Amino acid sequence: MKRGTIIRIVLISSYAIFLIVSWISGFGPGKEISRNFGSFSLEMLKILPCAFILIGLFETWVKTETIERHFGEKSGPMGYAWAILLAGTTVGGLYVAFPVAYSLYRKGAKLSVIFTYIGASAICRIPMAIFEASFLGIKFTAIRLLVSLPLVIITSMLLGNYLTRRNYKLT
């Protein structure tokens, strides 16, 4: 076995032993950690299977040419607009956004558009914006989006151009 694999096995085993010992000994913080872990795991199990089915359908049904035209090198400013629109409608948060981003990359989207998609999926999902507007007001939500989206796009362009100049490739 490789050293990295052994280290992962030791870390995961240590974590599991810590949780078990916490329940046996009544250690409060350890019990709380295990409850949070269980809750998080259940949430992931609710979202991820459906998300992976949809991503599989996306991989099969959406043509590479379509992604290259709308998200690729020649998409121009509309590539960023499409990325924000797609991010706004993505359900499941970043659990789903990262696999979708990888799928977009494999189909020919440029890195800066992918970074915009990831950033926008963290800040401008439609359900989240509606929830936020109902508690903090439409003015606050509009200002937050008008300030944060240009920053996401600018940062994505800078990072994407930097990595493209360095011939960065995802594996």
Residues 126-140 pLDDT 10s: 888 899 999 999 999
Measured torsion, CA atoms of residues 51, 52, 53, 58, in degrees rounded to the nearest 10: 90
CB 104 within 8 A of CB 140: no
Residues 100 and 160 in one domain: yes
| 71 in the same domain as 17 | no
Instruction: For residues 167 and 161, give the distance between their C-alpha atoms in angstroms, rounded to a whole number.
Output: 10
pTM for the full model? 0.79
Based on the domain organization, do 27 and 71 belong to the same domain?
no
| Residue 88 in domain | yes
Residue 14 confidence (pLDDT):
94
95 with 14, same domain: the answer is no
pLDDT value at residue 50 = 86
Domain count, the chain: 2
Residues 75 and 132 in one domain: yes
Is there a single domain that holds both residue 66 and residue 124? yes
Tell me which residues of the chain have a pLDDT lower than 70. Answer: none
Confirm whether 53 is domain-assigned. Answer: no
Q: Looking at residue 117, what is its pLDDT?
A: 96
Asked whether residue 83 falls in the same domain as residue 24, the answer is no
Are both 40 and 122 inside the same structural domain?
no
- Shared domain for 141 and 69, answered yes or no, is yes
What is the Rg, in whole angstroms, of the alpha carbon atoms belonging to the chain? 20
**Nearest-angstrom CA–CA distance, 163 and 167:** 6
Range of the domain at 145: 62-165
| Pair (19, 69) in one structural domain | no
* Domain presence at residue 66: yes
Alpha-carbon gap, residue 61 to 58, rounded angstroms:
5
51 assigned to some structural domain: no
Among residues 134, 114, 132, 111, the alpha carbon closest in space to that of 123 is found at 132
What share of the chain in percent tops pLDDT 70? 100
